[in-house]
Amino acid sequence: MNTPHTINSVNNSLFKKIEKVRRRPTKVKDKTITLAHGSGGKAMSDLIQDIFLGSFDNTLLSDLEDQARINLAELSKIGDRLAFTTDSYVIDPIFFPGGNIGELAVNGTVNDLAVGGATPLYISCGMIIEEGFPMENLRQIAQSMKQAADLAGVQIVTGDTKVVNRGSADKIFINTTGIGVISEKINISAGNIRSGDAIIVNGYLGDHGAAITVAREELALESSIKSDSQPLNGLVEAILKVCPQVRSMRDATRGGLATVLNEFALSSEVGIRLYEEALPIREEVQGVCELLGLDPLYMANEGKLVVLVPQDQSTEVLTAMKQHPYGKDAAIVGEAIDSPAGVVIVKTIFDTDRIVDMLVGDQLPRIC
């Protein structure tokens, strides 16, 4: 007969084996997402451990708490203001030439922080996944998010996963929220723009919008255009190093260059004049736009920023941008003017003026 001591020893040994199995990472064997992966049970735990923690793993995330715990003292060493942004990504198709929805989500959030003068640090990731979504696609998206985060020098530190019934979503939606810190020396705002300021873009416009347009099967177009999705925080750092007095800066995503400049003009109550011959637009992008009756100035970008600086510092800023890989095709494309206030005008190659108003409606659906 076993003594109580022997029974306890057996039980303890069994409990340890059970606990070891429970803690052991389990590779997801399902080929597609099921409702069980959003149920809060073992299937969801395996999904998080295998795909998300397996891709994003870092010290803040690995505790798997309901929140990331960030040391405020470390943040205060970088600057005196917290930058906080959020965005949702619903692009179609989710895989496209030059990237996918995961990479886009990370880069978009990094860029929203960077153009405000912030140093991007942390990102959250919320995913809404449709039942039946291929598991391998989810794994690829997560890994591309990790690669994008590493390239930008940020960490994905918390997140959430929801699975909805088949037909209740379109494959996958991603929400990302970003946190960064702004140095006390930086004051970037659309309200800072003054007449005479130079307008600079960091490269070719409309690549992302054109790539997504061509990638849609129903258009049956062939092209080598790729999305310009890329993190801009390194480029912004190079700009601020030579010109801390940057007036305003923004990434030209949905609505393109035209929409950003209209927002600037209204905020600062200045006019904006662009020079058509100076605008960097690829022939392929121009061709796609002409074929479909679109305007490249409204085409979405995911790796392009617009920066306004004092005219006497524009050459130095342009030189610094061209020395960075994401600014090698930078160009001065216009200037702020006194009047007409709140209006964007393009000086065409025929020496005529064309008003570029705020985009009404949407040129293309599901672009980012």
Q: What is the pLDDT of residues 217-244, one digit of tens each?
A: 666 677 789 999 999 999 999 999 999 9
Q: Class assignment of domain 26-182?
A: alpha beta
Is-contact 143 104, C-beta < 8 A?
Answer: no
pLDDT tens-digit readout, 312-361: 999 999 999 999 999 999 999 999 999 999 999 999 999 999 999 987 76
Mean pLDDT of all residues in the chain? 91
351 vs 55, 258, 346, CA distance in Å? Answer: 54, 19, 9
Cite the beta strand spans of 252-352 per DSSP E: 271-275, 305-309, 331-337, 344-347
Could you tell me which residues are beta bridge partners of residue 335?
A: 198, 273
Query: Is 60 exceeded by the pLDDT of residue 22?
Result: no
H helices of 95-206, where? Answer: 101-114, 135-152
Query: What integer pLDDT is reported at residue 219 of this predicted model?
Result: 64
Domain residue ranges in the chain: 26-182, 190-355
Query: Is 70 exceeded by the pLDDT of residue 19?
Result: no
pLDDT tens-digit readout, 235-274: 999 999 999 999 999 999 989 999 999 999 999 999 999 9
The DSSP result for 108-132, as a single string, is HHHHHHHTTTEEEEEEEEEEEEETT
Our CA angle for 124, 129, 131, nearest 5°, is 160
CA 265/CA 252 separation, integer angstroms: 15
Query: What integer pLDDT is reported at residue 358 of this predicted model?
Result: 86
Whether omega for the bond prior to residue 93 falls within 30 degrees of 0, making it cis, is: yes
Instruction: Look up residue 342 and give its amino acid.
Output: G
Mean pLDDT of 138-160: 97
Query: Is 70 exceeded by the pLDDT of residue 106?
Result: yes
CATH no. for 190-355: 3.90.650.10
Query: What integer pLDDT is reported at residue 368 of this predicted model?
Result: 74
177 vs 80, 272, 320, CA distance in Å? Answer: 20, 32, 29
pLDDT tens-digit readout, 168-189: 999 999 999 999 999 998 999 9
Could you tell me what percent of the chain has a pLDDT over 90?
80
Query: Is 60 exceeded by the pLDDT of residue 115?
Result: yes
CA 169/CA 162 separation, integer angstroms: 11
Query: Is 70 exceeded by the pLDDT of residue 4?
Result: no
Query: What integer pLDDT is reported at residue 64 of this predicted model?
Result: 84
Query: Is 70 exceeded by the pLDDT of residue 3?
Result: no
Per the listing, tokens 């342009």 go with: 318
